[in-house]
Amino acid sequence: MSADARIPTALDAMIRGIVAPPVPLDAIHRRARSARATRAAFPFLRVAIAAAALLAIGIVAFPSASSALIQGIEARYRAALQALGGVAGPPVPRTIIASLQSQSTAATLQGARSRVRFTLVPPVGLPRDVVAETIRTAPSGTYSKATRAWTIGPVYVTFTYRRADGRTFDLRAERYDPQAAPTGRYMFEALDPAADGSPRIVRHRRLVWRNGDQTMTAIAQGIGVAEIESIRHAMHGIALPQRGAHANGSGSRSTVYVLP
Amino acid sequence: MPLALDTDLIERARGDGAALDALVVAVWPEAYRIAVSILRDPGLAEDSAQEACAAIVRALPGLKNVAGFAAWSYRIVVNAAITAARRRPRVQSLETVGDAATTFDTSEAMDLHAALARLSVVQRAVVVLHYYAGLDSREIAAAISAPSSTVRFHLMLARRALRKALSPIDPSTMPSDEVLPHVR
């Protein structure tokens, strides 16, 4: 018999030779029940959020706040992730937060360029009602699933803009990593519970694009998706692929969901 | 197709807890074996097989074609394994790497197992779906959300590796020190 003809029978014998452990019926039913409950509330479960990115938002938004407040912000995102059926990493240690905060500094464009290891391309094509700009640099907090530890990562730059109506929005520039997994299409945040005690989660659209060795990330909070797209076009940015590309609910507004 | 179940059991499992348990008991060994074949990590495979069985339990009431249960469940099992592989840490502890729970009766099976190790996770999934579950390239393409041409390419590469593993060794191609170990 030729080797080609023997492949199916040999493979069959090999796989049948593997001894399975006893069937974990309880665990399987438990998983089925828990996923069913969250799927009923959220049809787009494949999205996930990165605790490190959320931590970064806290650090930038409240550079001089206490580590307890930053941990509180991060905990809200972690709660959102868990409510969606995701698996959150461990809480960020206070020492890491303190270290990130101590290294978070305001900067000029030139100063920011000198602190990063990529060619910083500043945003252009901003909404016309932008009245103020702030630039900050800070290292990112990174959780490694391999070492199960938080570490201080490379420096990124956050451009924060204030609009005439008082809203603010951020654009985050960091070094492009070709090995990085695609980011999620949405970010989730846990709000205070609804009047009946049900958890509430808000979904924000996230857009990511590349300019040379820079990756720019924008979250549709304080800015619309169309306005973000205008910035990307003006910067000649290349949109990066994202996970969770669902057609439903992909509008420009953030959407609030109440979980049962 | 190895997973051939009574359609009556599948129908009853939609509304009868005992029948559902019997179905899971029947599917579990297959789910685990396939997961191990693809992931080569017993711990991860057990987790992936659990996830797959839970997905089958969840989705069973919506299954339209009961006669297609086997192919449908293979798709779920293989996709759960691919997802588990993507979530797997890049660095593994030495305890989890290796061939625990995969001992083989024949040298042919061992050779095949070693040849599969050199394939990517997706290629292993394609091999299992094609040669073990009996799916054609169009069905595999639908199962793993890849073009049929990509599936055929994966199959071609995999077939080449498996054929090599199953081919009898030609002594003339062996290094001389293996043919005559005493000659140096």
Q: CB distance from B103 to chain A under 8 Å?
A: yes
Q: Which residue of B has its CA nearest to A86?
A: B87
pLDDT confidence tier of residue B105, bands split at 50, 70 and 90: low
Closest CA of chain A from B182, distance in Å:
31
Write the burial class of residue A151 (CB in 10 Å: 0-12 exposed, 13-18 middle, 19+ buried). middle
Q: Which residues of B touch A15 (CB under 8 A)?
A: 2, 33-34, 37, 128, 132
| Predicted local confidence at residue A113, as pLDDT | 93
What pLDDT band is residue B179 in, cutting at 50, 70 and 90? very low
- Is there a common fold for B1-87 and B105-167? no
For B26, name the nearest residue in chain A, comparing CA atoms only: A23
Q: What's the CATH fold of domain B105-167?
A: Arc Repressor Mutant, subunit A (1.10.10)
Residue A229 has pLDDT above 90, yes or no: yes
Nearest-angstrom CA–CA distance, A50 and A58: 13
Question: To which residue do tokens 């490694």 refer?
Answer: A144
Rounded to an integer, the average pLDDT of B7-31 is: 89
Instruction: Decide if A23 and B28 are in contact by the 8 Å CB cutoff.
Output: yes
Rounded-to-integer distance, Cα B157 and Cα B161, Å: 6
* CB within 8 Å of chain B, chain A residues 26-55: 27-29, 31-32, 35-36, 39
Sequence spans of domains, chain A: 43-258
**Residue B13 pLDDT class (50, 70, 90 cuts):** confident
- By Cβ distance, the residue of A20, A27, A29 closest to B29 is A20
Are the Cβ atoms of A11 and B162 closer than 8 angstroms? yes
Q: Do A6 and B108 touch (CB under 8 A)?
A: yes
In one-letter notation, the amino acid at residue B73 is S
Q: Which of A10, A24, A25 sits opposite B112 (nearest CB)?
A: A10
pLDDT at position A231 over 90:
yes
Nearest CA in chain A to B2: A12
pLDDT (mean) for B55-72: 83
CB A12 to CB B132 under 8 A?
yes
Closest residue in B to A32 (Cα) is B54
pLDDT in the model for residue A120? 95
CA torsion sign, B19 to B24 to B25 to B27?
positive
Q: How confident is the model at residue A212 (pLDDT cuts 50, 70, 90)?
A: very high
**Contact indicator for A240, A210 with CB cutoff of 8 Å:** yes
CB pair distance less than 8 Å for A28 and B53? yes
Per-residue pLDDT tens digits for A95-142: 877 777 778 888 899 999 999 999 999 999 999 999 889 898 888 777
Question: What are the boundaries of each domain within chain B?
Answer: 1-87, 105-167
How much is the pLDDT for A183? 78
Counting Cβ atoms within 10 Å, is residue B138 exposed (0-12), middle (13-18) or buried (19+)? exposed
Is 50 exceeded by the pLDDT of residue B180? no
What kind of architecture, by CATH, is found in domain B1-87?
A: Orthogonal Bundle (1.10)
Residue A230 binned pLDDT confidence (cut-offs 50, 70, 90):
very high
pLDDT value at residue A80: 63
Please indicate whether, in this complex, the C-beta atoms of A16 and B33 are within 8 angstroms of each other: yes
Partners of residue B128 in chain A, C-beta under 8 Å? 11, 15
Q: Beta strand pairing status for A200-211 and A238-239? A: antiparallel
Q: For B34, which residue in chain A has the nearest alpha carbon?
A: A15
Confidence of residue A235 (pLDDT cuts 50, 70, 90): very high
Cβ contact B57–A35 (<8 Å): no
How do residues A45-101 score in pLDDT, each as one tens digit? 333 334 455 555 555 555 555 555 555 556 666 666 665 555 556 677 778 777 777
Q: Chain B contacts of A31, Cβ < 8 Å?
A: 50-51, 54
Q: Using one digit for the tens of pLDDT, what is the confidence trace for A9-39?
A: 888 888 888 888 898 988 888 888 775 554 4
Handedness of CA B159, B165, B167, B171 (dihedral sign): positive
B98 at A interface, C-beta within 8 A:
no
A10 CB neighbours in chain B (<8 A) are 108-109, 112, 162, 166
Confidence of residue A242 (pLDDT cuts 50, 70, 90): confident
- What is the chain A residue with the closest CA to B100? A18
pLDDT in tens, A160-199: 999 988 888 889 999 998 877 777 787 776 666 555 555 5
The predicted structure's pLDDT at residue A252: 40
Lowest mean pLDDT among A98-112, A136-150, B124-138: A136-150
> Rounded CA gap, A192 and A199, in Å?
7
**Cβ-based neighbour number of residue A185 at 10 Å:** 20
- CB contacts < 8 Å between A and B, how many? 103
**Tell me, what's the pLDDT at B110?**
67
Distance from CA of A49 to the nearest CA of B (A): 14
Q: What is the pLDDT of residue A194?
A: 58
